[in-house]
Structure 1
Amino acid sequence: MNQLDQLKKYTKVVIDSGDIQNIEKYNPFDATTNPSLILKAIQMEKYNYLIKESIQYSKKKGGSKEKIINRAVDKIVVNFGVEILKKIPGVVSSEVDSRLSFNTEKSIKKARDLIYMYENEHGINRSKVLIKLAATWECIKAAKYLEKENINCNLTLLFSFAQARACAEANVFLISPFVGRIYDWYNLHYPMKEYNVLFDKGVKSVKKIYKYYKKYSYKTIIMGASFRNKKQILSLSGCDCLTISPELLKELKSSNTVFSKQLFLPKKVFSKIKEKMSKSEFNFLHNQDLMAVEKLSEGIKQFSLDQNFLESIIEKNI
């Protein structure tokens, strides 16, 4: 049995890709996308038809040029999600415009717009979609409202324990702690002479969150994301979900080396902590973690730049 099949015994495997054709190769349960992956895919000639279809759709709806461009980008995100759902049995994650990461009301509206397209343009129930939002205080608050409308959310760009705790207390459906990006920061500032997964700060972050969530009976799903090597993935076997790039899925599939499950449910559990974090406490705790502050800011900035680039591609094609 190859390592990918072994991993599927312990963990729900999710593919992190915008390339629809790639998804079929690995038989994942769910799939995740983000602005960077969509941008990468949309520049492939084989997906040109999705740009044309999105522009035609948006033009028919009318409005200003800016509105047509914004709507067309949303339609591209949904179109990719629709095509991906044809290849998987589970759910797809579609991301809200990262430039709205500090605006609760606009994030909620954008999420509703995406869900409206899925349901009314394609007949896909909201239960098949996870709305991705950056794990800022404002977006965690947005997710809390959206969950009440049965719009499940995936809180991404998660780097600090404060973010993870706030998400659990808001009853967010799923979180995506970024293993690889945490590792990148520590490797840049405090490089290991020789890599040892036991000292990998990204891996340790997810293990800490997993232990806390399970100990205090939080239902929020943990999906480790952004991996840099196979060792990081295997060391988190037993986590609720892991979203993995096609390159690393290929590596897992090509190896038959046996490994064992690493994460286990605690023997003793407790009820949820009743006293929830305030915004000021969240800001204080999150800002104690320099890595988390820098990586969250960097992630939002990069996704926003990719969103701008995607809009420029749409504008050129109108």
Structure 2
Amino acid sequence: MKFFIDTANLNEIREAFDLGVLDGVTTNPSLMAKEGIKGDANVRAHYKAICDIVDNNVSAEVIATDFEGMIKEGKELAKIDDKIVVKIPMIKEGIKAIKYFSSEGIRTNCTLVFSPGQAILAAKAGASYLSPFVGRLDDISQDGLEFIAQVRVIYDNYGFGTEILAASVRHTMHLIKCAEIGADVVTCPLNVITGLLNHPLTDSGLAKFLADHKKANA
């Protein structure tokens, strides 16, 4: 399973990368705004700064919702760095754009996906990644994890090459369950990844080892 971090904060990205388990980054306009990044030139420069930290897979989202606009923005984003994956919304014009970018060898991440039908369309159009939003489905009393499992079965049935990138992953159990049901990638905040480190028996065991060592070498 690949671990992506969902942020535009460079310090968090560096920390995740230094941990040695980071495979990529996902961002969106909201995350950019949270970091105070405004204006097209500054946003693109920030994407480049992210690409300079990580080894691959930096999802950069288009703002346009029409086909021509998405193609124009997507090409500009793809020029920033070979690591860029163009993030396209799950709408009719977005599916057309994904098909176009697929034919041009430009990787895409189809985002805001909430149904199996949408997942099928994205895969048939040639999306590199599909982003189903687990937490947002949970928010409206639908089972986000069950949705991931449905998409896994469908993709395996037909040999689709699109990778399932579980998004809106909010806690460690979300991440672990996504791993169990076969998501190819999870994207989440840094604290969800580092939360995997924690277990009370690890803490108590280490404390005992250190105490025994101190006693033996007093």
In structure 2, the residue matched to 1:38 is 32
Contact 1:77/1:94 (<8 A) preserved? no
Q: Matches of 2:169 and 2:74 in 1, distance apart?
A: 27
Q: Which residue of 2 aligns with 1:225?
A: 167
Identity %, equivalent residues: 31
- Kindly provide the amino acid, as one letter, of the partner of residue 132 in structure 2: P
Distance in 1, Cα, partners of 2:197 & 2:35: 23
- Distance in 2 of aligned mates of 1:204 and 1:81: 33
Cα separation, partners in 2 of 1:106 and 1:247, compared to 1, 3 Å: same
Higher relative contact order (Cα pairs below 8 Å, separated by 6+ residues):
1
- Residue in structure 1 matched with residue 210 of structure 2 by the alignment: none
Tell me how far 1:255 sits from its aligned partner: 3.8
Partner of 1:132, secondary structure, is strand
Tell me the TM-score normalized by structure 2.
Answer: 0.84
Instruction: Confirm whether residue 96 of structure 1 aligns to residue 86 of structure 2.
Output: no
Instruction: Summarize deviations over 1:128-158 as a string: whole Å, max 9, x none.
Output: 1100111112101111001111111101011
Q: What is the number of residues matched between the two proteins?
A: 196
Is 1:171 matched up with 2:126?
Answer: yes
**CA 1:16–1:152 in 2, change beyond 3 Å: closer, same or farther?**
same
2:184 aligned to which of 228, 240, 244: 240
The answer for unaligned runs of 5 or more in structure 1 is 1-10, 44-50, 52-72, 119-123, 187-199, 259-318
The answer to whether 1:108 aligns with 2:102 is no
d(CA) in 2 for partners of 1:165, 1:210 = 11
Moved over 6 A (4+): none
Cα separation, 1, equivalents of 2:139 and 2:73: 31
Q: For 1:87, what is the secondary structure of its paired residue?
A: coil
Of 94, 98, 101, the match for 1:139: 94
Gaps of 5+ in 2: 203-218
Partner of 1:29: 23
1:275 paired residue number: none
| Partner of residue 151 from structure 2, selected from 206, 209, 217 | 209
- Structure showing the higher strand proportion among its residues: 2
- Give the C-alpha shift of residue 206 in structure 1: 0.7
Write the deviation string for residues 229-266 of structure 1: whole angstroms up to 9, x where unpaired.
221110111421111111212322334889xxxxxxxx
Q: After superposition, what is the alpha-carbon deviation per residue over 1:170-211, rounded to whole angstroms, capped at 9, x for unaligned?
A: 11111110001111111xxxxxxxxxxxxx600110111011
